Structure 1
Amino acid sequence: MKIIVTEQANKWFEEELELEKGDAVRFYGKVYGKTEVHDNYSVAMQVAEPNDVLAKATVNGITYFAEKWDEWFFSEYDFKIEYDEKADEIRYRFLS
């Protein structure tokens, strides 16, 4: 698994979550919702310190990561985080 964060997405996170260099954002699966590869689960995120990292990416000093216990949600996919300018929101993509 690889995490890919676009520069525009990173900027959105910095502004919306008031992140600074050294901060970290964890991604994981949550019950309810849907992704392009999961029924009844969607992507959740929280500002948190990495513990047992499965994968991570660092952009402009901000670390984006998933923990090993969330491997069930990300297995077999790369995880791409993009900013949708028209909708002014983040889009999560699972790439095979």
Structure 2
Amino acid sequence: MQLMITKAALEWYKREMELAEGDFIRFYARYGGESNLQAGFSLGMMVEKPVEPTIQVMNDGITFYVERDDEWYFDNHNLTVAYNDQRDELEFQYN
């Protein structure tokens, strides 16, 4: 599994979540919502320090990661977090 955060998405995180160097964003499986990967679950995110990350990437000092307990959700897919400027929101792309 690979985790990629586009430059535009990184700027969205800094602006909307007021993140700075040293902060952490966790991606996790949450019950409910819609997803192309797992029926009945969707991708959540929160500001939280890692405990047992399975994958992590650092951009401008901000660490984005997935805990080992949530790895199942991705079903061997890579995650790219992109920014849709027409909607002013993030998009989660799985491949």
**By the TM > 0.5 criterion, same fold?**
yes
CA distance, structure 2, for counterparts of residue 71 and residue 6 of structure 1: 21
CA distance, structure 2, for counterparts of residue 31 and residue 50 of structure 1: 20
Partner of 2:20: 20
Partner of 2:32: 32
How far 1:38 sits from its partner (Å)?
A: 2.3
Partner of 2:42: 42
Contact 2:37 2:75 in 1 (8 A): no
Aligned-residue Cα RMSD (Å) equals: 0.9
Structure 2: gaps spanning 5 or more residues:
none
Partner of 1:80: 80
Structure 1: gaps spanning 5 or more residues:
none
Contact 1:31 1:40 in 2 (8 A): yes
How many residues align? The count is 95
Q: Which runs of 4+ in 1 moved over 6 A?
A: none
Q: TM-score, normalised by structure 1?
A: 0.94
How far 1:75 sits from its partner (Å)?
A: 2.9
Kindly provide the amino acid, as one letter, of the partner of residue 22 in structure 2. Answer: G
CA distance, structure 2, for counterparts of residue 43 and residue 35 of structure 1: 8
Kindly provide the amino acid, as one letter, of the partner of residue 55 in structure 1. Answer: I
CA distance, structure 1, for counterparts of residue 81 and residue 57 of structure 2: 11
How far 1:34 sits from its partner (Å)?
A: 1.2
Partner of 1:8: 8
Percent identity, aligned pairs only, is 29
The superposition leaves residues 56-94 of structure 1 with CA deviations (integer Å, 9 ceiling, x where unpaired) of: 111111110000011111231111100010010001111
SS at match of 1:34: coil
